[in-house]
Amino acid sequence: MLLLLIFWIAPAHGPTNIMVYISICSLLGSFTVPSTKGIGLAAQDILHNNPSSQRALCLCLVLLAVLGCSIIVQFRYINKALECFDSSVFGAIYYVVFTTLVLLASAILFREWSNVGLVDFLGMACGFTTVSVGIVLIQVFKEFNFNLGEMNKSNMKTD
């Protein structure tokens, strides 16, 4: 998916469609966060001299390489997106898509959601939705200026 986005879709549609660059950055971010978590887990095995520390060292090096490459490519496409699109719109959409894909990747790779009950899941979903909608509203309406005094004046004029 990333190769298709980077080599075929981004050159043709990236400057005109914000979702192309956001998809590239978010998909790479879904590698970045689990790679960091995996490095931490592998480091525990390396430092405790477990019998599997040699495999953990190899895993740690591979994850560091994946982390480095994904961060470099993310920076490249974030800069491209910020050259073409408004930063407030990009930031809001990117936050929501990035967070969604990271949660999905963590749920698949680490099976973190297997012990979560329905009430806890609904609480997390409501919290995520509230934060996502709040971020989007703040970013979209940050240039919209109004105050309570102006609203009262407009109501008084119509009477």
Residue-wise pLDDT for 49-106, tens only, equals 777 778 888 888 998 998 999 899 999 999 999 999 988 788 888 888 888 888 888 7
DSSP state, residue 82: H
Q: Tokens standing for 25?
A: 């950055």
Between 132 and 27, where is the model more confident? 27
Domain boundaries, the chain: 1-84
The Cα 48–Cα 55 span in angstroms is: 13
For residue 112, pLDDT beyond 90: no
Give Cα 23 to chain centroid, integer Å: 10
Local confidence band at 42 (pLDDT 50, 70, 90 cut-offs)? confident
pLDDT at 146: 66
What's the chain's average pLDDT?
Answer: 83
* Side-chain-facing half-sphere of 147: CA atoms under 13 Å: 2
Identify how many contiguous H helices and E strands the chain contains and give both numbers.
7, 0
Report pLDDT for 79. 94
Reading phi first (left if > 0) and then psi (alpha if -120 to 50, else beta), residue 23 is in alpha
Whole-number pLDDT of residue 135: 78
Residue 90 exposure: Cα atoms within 13 Å on the Cβ side: 22
Among 14-28, 108-122, 135-149, whose mean pLDDT is lowest?
135-149
Would you call 50 helix, strand, or coil by DSSP? Answer: coil
Q: Please, what's the b/e burial string for 103-134 (b: 16 or more CB within 10 A of its CB; e: otherwise)? A: bebbeeeeeeeeeeeeeeeeeeeeeeeeebee
